[in-house]
Structure 1
């Protein structure tokens, strides 16, 4: 059974010291890489730097950091710092995030996300190479900045993407793509759009790493896992970005119910939109063998690296999932 490369998702509860314990342990268990999300938890660059100090071989990636909440110069400076702490191991993941996070949390307009991501990647890549550039784009402008201590080697930049326009940008300006929350059957179509962007830039999409974060729980209680998934992910699918994504890959009715219920404050309607069929197509939960089979299904569809994000808050459930799926 081909499971591709397996990776661990951070942060994990309850705190940063626990994250570092899991980072150290995951490397011992054979996980190939560690990927850090940016939502409402630990600062991803700081955590990545700390993870670098407790690991020796695992790659350390961000999956992903929103381009709206830092300037390209601060992204480049932070990335250069982590790269010096983990030479050849750091991967910068950038994406647009969502209206809820960018506008509600950070008070920044969620404007022209496809263009903003493209221009951020272009600027940050040049800065990490030590260039002093003048850039006048549609969404970003910079001149005169130069990174004082650029990393010795190149820093791969991966793009978080969902629908065709951003998937094509990932292929065009990225070195890899980060995806999540979709059924395996949708991936071949998604990767065709990555290939369109890659061809536009004269690159071979077949060499792209496809990184996918999955909500995973090794459990005998599938109904309980579904409820945990609903509790944690319904809010995602109420946002325009993920709601449109769900409709795009074939769950139009569910997406409409979720959006309408969220808009009107009808929690029961929103919950009805999170049908078992919908939840089961996105989450990975069940026995150890069932989880392995589902991961293999996504790998067969084109995933290169699977990020295991335990669908639990209970320490024992987290441990059982991470250790159960460990490559060693």
Structure 2
């Protein structure tokens, strides 16, 4: 797998509205050799509509949800959208799914969060039934089709649309080892975040656990691993890291409650627990600038590419040797061109 890194364009979350110039940026990225683009959702813009709109301006790029939140749609609604976009794009759609966290799932979508791995397994099984154009019947702990109760008139139905691809790729977002193993077992790829390329034995072990399970769909060689990587090019390494520190402080300090922050746990496993505790305490106390300043350079360099071009080119060697197959990056046209030059050397 070494040396085979692909590039994907990560479409950022919208703030008050759509970022200007997105269509032109996407077209430029495709011309620069970016192989895919990925749209996210949380509690604002959705992940599917931008791919339909922007994907129509492209001819080659794969169109991935990174991620579509499972609690936002029933499994069959997600499968319907996936089939629709796959037809419209000529077979370029990738369905990335994720469980998100309890604050969003229960606070925004009004759905229960407990036992996310069980729910994920059931959700993917139903999506695959739809994609196989089977009559959809499922009786799990979290999803039941047809609905047991109501009028009693519900019946198992088959999609009227014939899927363009019954093997449309389904990828799972995961951070913890059990969820990573689940992705390796039941999915076609893993959408990772904050991946420590220089020390990825922990995740390789989790992936191997999933690949070894009975009925696993793939081996490592046929499995895609994407990772959103912050790239900041500057002669001064600390100055480049300063552009990444607020993001890490947000995720470690504010994306989740104290004691229930998956991103915190990711960095703690890397050996940064003391720094994470300080960052989280400062962030939750409202001291966001101080929280960002408390993020050590080593923590930034563990998951991001920062510094002058020559340093980044050297640091890319670790990514080429890692389990990651696709780097997802964002930026303006100049930055995307510079990253493409470094990765495609």
Aligned equivalent of 2:241: 226
TM-score by length of 2: 0.84
- Residue 267 of structure 2: which of 219, 242, 246 is its match? 246
User: 2: distance between equivalents of 1:267 and 1:323?
Assistant: 32
Aligned equivalent of 2:336: 322
Aligned equivalent of 2:222: 207
Q: Please provide the CA RMSD for this pair.
A: 2.4
The 1:104–1:271 alpha-carbon spacing in structure 2 relative to 1, beyond 3 Å, is farther
Asked if structure 2 preserves the Cα contact closer than 8 Å seen for 1:34 and 1:59, the reply is yes
TM-score by length of 1: 0.88
The 1:258–1:146 alpha-carbon spacing in structure 2 relative to 1, beyond 3 Å, is farther
User: 1: distance between equivalents of 2:293 and 2:29?
Assistant: 37
- Residue 303 of structure 2: which of 246, 269, 282 is its match? 282
The structure with the greater share of residues assigned to helix is 1
The structure whose Rg is larger is: 2
The 1:4–1:15 alpha-carbon spacing in structure 2 relative to 1, beyond 3 Å, is same
The DSSP-based 3-state class of the residue aligned with 1:56 is: coil
Asked if structure 1 preserves the Cα contact closer than 8 Å seen for 2:233 and 2:307, the reply is yes
Aligned equivalent of 2:116: 113
User: 2: distance between equivalents of 1:55 and 1:20?
Assistant: 9
Asked if structure 2 preserves the Cα contact closer than 8 Å seen for 1:295 and 1:306, the reply is no
Asked if structure 2 preserves the Cα contact closer than 8 Å seen for 1:12 and 1:18, the reply is no
The 1:146–1:3 alpha-carbon spacing in structure 2 relative to 1, beyond 3 Å, is same
Asked if structure 1 preserves the Cα contact closer than 8 Å seen for 2:198 and 2:302, the reply is no
Asked if structure 1 preserves the Cα contact closer than 8 Å seen for 2:96 and 2:171, the reply is yes
Encode CA deviations 1:296-318: one digit per residue, 9 max, x unaligned: 311212211111133xxxxxxx2
Q: CA deviation at 1:261?
A: 3.4
User: 1: distance between equivalents of 2:289 and 2:49?
Assistant: 39
Unaligned 5+ segments in structure 1 are 311-317
Say how many residue pairs are matched.
321
User: 2: distance between equivalents of 1:158 and 1:72?
Assistant: 14
- Residue 58 of structure 1: which of 61, 77, 82 is its match? 61
Unaligned 5+ segments in structure 2 are 147-155
The 1:41–1:11 alpha-carbon spacing in structure 2 relative to 1, beyond 3 Å, is farther
- Residue 146 of structure 1: which of 139, 155, 158 is its match? 158
Asked if structure 2 preserves the Cα contact closer than 8 Å seen for 1:68 and 1:102, the reply is yes
